[in-house]
Structure 1
Amino acid sequence: MYYPLTVRDFIDRAETVYPDRVAVVDEPDQPAPSLGTLTYRELATLARAQAARLDQLGVPVGGRVAVISQNSARLLTSFFGVTGWGRILVPINFRLSLAEIEYIVGHSGAKVVYADPELKDKLDALDVKHKFVLGDDDALFLRDSEPQEWAEPDEAATGTINYTSGTTARPKGVQLTHRNLWLNATVFGLHAGVNDRDVYLHTLPMFHANGWGMPYVTTGLGAKHVVLRKVDGAEILRRIDQHGVTLMCAAPAVVSAALDAAADWDGEIPGRDQVRIIVAGAPPPTRTIERVMEELGWQFNQIYGLTETSPIVTVNRMRAEWDDLSTHEQAKRLGRAGAPALGVRVTIDPQGEVLTSSNHNLDGYWEQPEETARVQAGNTFHTGDGGYLDDEGYLVISDRKKDVIISGGENVSSIEVEDALMSHPHVREVAVIGIPDEKWGELVTALVVADDGDVTAEELISHCRNSLAGYKCPKRVDFVDALPRTATGKLQKFKLREPFWKDHERQVN
């Protein structure tokens, strides 16, 4: 017997098993009217209403629907209301510039775009048939209607297209199938120990690799979602205290924000011996992991993955064999990327690149067959990261073979930033690299050969803001006389990186 795996399974089970349980506590402080507290019956009703609205708009199965939003209950609903009835969700990073959003909407072919009220100006500028400000369309979004059923559910159908920066100047649309999404969420949930007593705080942007799959699994297992619109260390502690949060996912910068806030917290830190935090984006320093364990009293977990792998590849969490070790030794072990997750194969090729094979790997890049073939050569996914497997079979990421900087948990394409800088009339040459930074992991840094000695770092950074999201813009600009190149003219970035990384064991931070 064969029954296709689709993301609809998660909301259907929640409504069946936990209809009157609180499903979502929406962000109270947002420009759209907060949806307040929703039960799983109400969340499922909203998802059906959205699907019915898309029926009314004539969006077919396979049609693309984009949502540009900070974390919100409406965005969470779209993971089911769009994808559960066969359409394709395109969650867009709200921090992107208008030019970047225009490219993604156009490239994906989205015919419907929802956007947060704060992004109305960008929404108005888009050339799209159907555009809605989240909250303004609720008279339709909340109507009591039944959608047309997806006639032939297909687990091989694309469920989401997630755009990610990489080795090209333009973002690539990662096609993840229902099977990818279903299995990633289930395997991730298994390793994270998700259960129906959990309270999940959305510190991770939902647009980021679909919140790593947590919106699906926490829904399917009846956990409570607490929506956080904006990351703020003190507010994270307050929400944990208020709602009894037990689980959250975060980039290292969020961990740092929580640690900073804890230093000024009056009384016992909320969540001690209760919160499990799962970190990815870059391995935090051993000392940071120690501080999470000692100062916050939270269980530290780490995963490694990419948008292209849905994202889970490896998992690192405390194990019984380490119980008698000192906190420092435990933290050192937890600093590794982790052991392969269930059903995932990790190998290292002769050049030191990390390869992974699993049911979570992308179906392909939207409308980019050549790039798809390149990263899937040999029926395995080429991560572009350099690393090794240690004696315990744990993956350690030691270098980044692709030209990507990970700053604050976000991918930044060096090429994209270089293109923006080269459009300035006084920039003759430029190389963009990531350098170690305690707060952001890696700092986007531009090394510039200028034609005009009067151009300033501030002027170049401001110039980049015209075409790039703020997190992609260089935070540091150094002016140099020349950039090192080979005899054939190829830029030697490793030489530029050397002085910044010479005291580090790994070439990632």
Structure 2
Amino acid sequence: MEKIWLKNYEPSIPAEIDPDRYSSLVDIFEQSVNKFAATTSYINMGCSITFNELDKLSRDFAAYLQQSGLQKGDAVAIMMPNLLQYPVALFGILRAGMVVVNVNPLYTARELQHQLKDSDAKAIVIVENFAHTLCEVLANTNVQTVLLTSLGDMLSPLKKVITNFVVKHVKKLVPAFSLPQAVSFIQALEIGQKHDYQRPELTGDDLAFLQYTGGTTGVSKGAMLTHRNIVANLEQISGILEVVIKPGEEFVVTALPLYHIFALQANCLTFVKFGCPNLLITNPRDMPGFVKELAKYPFTVLTGVNTLFNGLLNTPGFADLDFSRLNFALGGGMAVQRPVAERWQKVTGHVLLEGYGLTECCPVVTVNSPKITEYKGSIGLPVPSTEIKLVDEEGQEVAHGEAGEMLVKGPQVMLGYLNRPEATNEMIVDGWLSTGDIARCDDDGYFYLVDRKKDMILVSGFNVFPNEIEEVAAMHPDVVEAAAVGVPNEATGELVKLFVVRRNSALTEQMIIEHCRKNLTGYKVPKKVEFRDELPKTNVGKILRRELRDK
């Protein structure tokens, strides 16, 4: 389709970016750590490291990996929450010319074994809290090197001792394990410090990440993301955000896990490029603790998913924070609901921006300008050098203004799925990647996410999109969050069932249905309502509709 969105770009935003401006992520990293050497790079649990220290530590880790017998292109897994160790390991692996395999620390043994075997990982950096899971599967993988760390290993000496003692012996968060061959992460840094580091020759075609996706919809697949893919998406994001970001001055809050593509790109890599401090939240599920951390720092950028923002808004003390320095907050990973966005703006005085992406696109495809003054309900404009078309079930472009599946083409589109040519060919045809998401485009080029294609509910031949039902339900003052799914029905094929977490136990099924009936056409109104204490979610906060549907 015609790039009608370009007319709404800020004057400084380029229509196209140069995906080959940097030969690799290592180029960007080296320039940033030199330019912002004295600036704080990461903060966690009250301790921090500068960009200069990040440079030295990641260099030492890269040297360790190289001297351990690993080769350029080998896959190295990272299995940890947000800790100072994460960026050190991440950039060390990249600087060694190796491939990062991000692993969810909460994986079961089966999931971990699949990912380690599928990626052919030769090494893993793991926090001891999850080492017992690795013990179950290590013998069935090709992992040769295990690097073990404790939660407090990169804190100040006294804080390290206290934190590790409390985690192990007071809270008992480290199940028993036996990994006699493991090398401590700190010891690896010490060994690496004594060895030479050989900067590898990297090009845009070299793999940077094997980022696994699709675990909730089938076998988890490794998206092959090259240095050129990631660099291109960084340049695309920069083209949009440079109008408001002050290099070296922003203060970024990272509550989503860095192993997830959204936080990896939008927080970790983007703000290393811009040389800004990054506050790592290890356990964002502890909302009161999260709010206490926010109260300590002059934060200017906050990213998250809808459930995270909703959780903050419902946590005592959040509304009392100082939002005077907040530059922007960005929601992604799932649709931002209007009631949440409107309440966010009322409480903070700032618009909750919304963007859209997926792992296979590194991930950013569209984003709203940080200069908008109110929530639009839109996922924004396509980022530079990105083409989008909307198609029907037959693959034909739909008429302007109609909803269709979103196909994406651009330099951020992955190389393909590792060892899965059939899945790759199903996903990418003639350079166009099928997102599986239904969207529409308005006259100004703004895109609106209608829903996931696979989550669509079919009621008497009419398409019903769960996002719409959930957004209406969330408008009720006694609804904390909601999820809509289709359940079989003899008369209509499917009917809408709504799962609700309520704020007030006096809220009844009939009250919810009546509320929805006032805001939705008849066939969209839920016919069943089930109250839950909580809804099942992925580790980054996406509601698992499929799990609700299957049960």
Which TM-score applies when normalising by structure 2?
Answer: 0.70
How many residues get paired?
A: 421
Aligned to 1:378: 430
Letter of the 2:389 partner, please give it: T
Measured on the aligned residues, the alpha-carbon RMSD in Å equals: 3.1
Shift of 1:130: 1.5
Q: How does 1:288-299 map to 2 (within 5 A)?
A: 288-299=340-351
The 3-state SS of whatever aligns with 1:14 is helix
* 2:382 alignment partner in structure 1: 340
CA–CA separation in structure 1 for the residues paired with 2:34 and 2:60: 18
Pick from 122, 126, 145: which aligns with 1:111? 122
Percent identity between the two aligned chains? 20
Distance in 1 between the 2:93 and 2:227 partners?
12
Offset of residue 110 of structure 1: 0.3
- Report the more deviating stretch, 270-279 or 354-363: 270-279
**Whole-angstrom distance in 1 between the partners of 2:344 and 2:249:** 23
How far apart, in 2, do the equivalents of 1:277 and 1:142 lie?
Answer: 39
- Corresponding position of 2:189: 141
Which of 330, 333, 358 is residue 306 of structure 1 equivalent to?
A: 358
| CA distance, structure 2, for counterparts of residue 84 and residue 62 of structure 1 | 11
Shift of 1:404: 10
Deviation at 1:132, TM superposition (A): 2.1
Letter in 1 for 2:43: V
CA distance in 1, matches of 2:456, 2:199: 39
- C-alpha distance in structure 2 between counterparts of 1:338 and 1:210, whole Å: 16
Who is 2:336 aligned against?
Answer: 284
Q: Distance in 2 between matches of 1:398 and 1:107?
A: 34
Q: State how 1:105-254 maps to structure 2 within 5 Å.
A: 105-127=116-138, 128-135=143-150, 136-143=184-191, 144-145=193-194, 147-165=196-214, 168-192=217-241, 193-194=244-245, 195-209=247-261, 211-213=263-265, 214-231=267-284, 232-254=286-308
For structure 1, which runs of at least 5 residues remain unmatched after alignment?
29-35, 324-329, 406-432, 448-482, 486-491
Would you say 1:102 and 2:117 are equivalent positions?
A: no
- Per the TM alignment, residue 64 of structure 1 is displaced from its structure 2 partner at its CA by 0.3
Secondary structure of 1:82's counterpart equals helix
Q: Give the deviation of 1:374 after TM superposition.
A: 1.3
Residues 300-334 of structure 1, C-alpha deviation per residue, up to 9 Å, x if partnerless? 211100011111000114546xx5xxxxxx32x1x
| Partner Cα separation in structure 1 for residue 422 and residue 264 of structure 2 | 26
Residue in 2 that maps onto 1:274: 326
Q: Give me the whole-angstrom Cα distance separating, in 1, the residues matched to 2:304 and 2:21.
A: 34
CA contact (8 A) 2:437 2:452 kept: yes
**Cα gap change, 1:276 to 1:497, in 2 (>3 Å):** farther
Instruction: Please point out which of 10, 30, 34 is paired with 1:16.
Output: 34
Distance 1:440 1:7 in 2: 41
What's the CA shift for 1:95?
2.1
| Distance (whole Å) between structure 1 residues aligned to residue 45 and residue 38 of structure 2 | 20
Q: Is the 8 A contact 1:6 1:84 kept in 2?
A: no
- Paired residues of 2:305 and 2:336 also in contact (CA < 8 A): no
Is 1:42–2:53 an aligned residue pair? yes
- Cα 1:168–1:274 shift into 2, 3 Å: closer
Q: Indicate the residue corresponding to 1:27 in structure 2.
A: 45
Change (3 A) 1:442 1:181: farther
Moved more, 158-167 or 356-365: 158-167
Counterpart of 2:294, as a letter, is: I
Shift of 1:236: 3.3
Distance 1:403 1:106 in 2: 30
SS of the residue aligned with 1:122? helix
- Which of residues 324, 349, 361 is equivalent to 2:391? 349
| 2:69 equivalent to 1:69 | no
- State how far apart, in whole Å, the 2-side matches of 1:364 and 1:496 are: 35
How many Å apart are 1:247 and its aligned residue? 0.9
The answer as to whether partners of 1:24 and 1:37 remain within 8 angstroms in 2 is yes
1:45 is displaced (CA, Å) by: 0.9
Deviations 1:245-304 (A, max 9, x none): 11121011110111012xx22884222452421101222221211111111223421110
- Residue in structure 1 matched with residue 179 of structure 2 by the alignment: none
| 3-state SS in 2 of match to 1:205 | coil
- CA separation of 1:314 and 1:258: change in aligned 2, threshold 3 A: same
Q: Write the mapping of 1:364-375 to structure 2, written as runs, cut at 5 A.
A: 364-375=416-427
Aligned CA distance change for structure 1 residues 319 and 267 (closer, same or farther; 3 Å):
closer
Change (3 A) 1:166 1:356: farther
CA distance, structure 1, for counterparts of residue 309 and residue 24 of structure 2: 33
Larger displacement relative to structure 2 (186-195 or 104-113): 186-195
CA distance in 2, matches of 1:53, 1:404: 49
**Cα deviations by residue, 1:204-243 (Å, 9 ceiling, x for unpaired):** 2101116241211211221001111011333333333312
d(CA) in 2 for partners of 1:13 and 1:230? 31
Provide the TM-score with structure 1 as the length reference: 0.75
- Report the alpha carbon displacement of residue 27 of structure 1 after superposing the two structures with TM: 3.1
Contact 2:485 2:496 in 1 (8 A): no
Partner amino acid for 1:133? L
Aligned AA (1:253): T
Instruction: For 2:33 and 2:279, locate their aligned partners in 1 and report how far apart those are by CA, in whole Å.
Output: 18
Does the alignment pair 1:5 with 2:23? yes
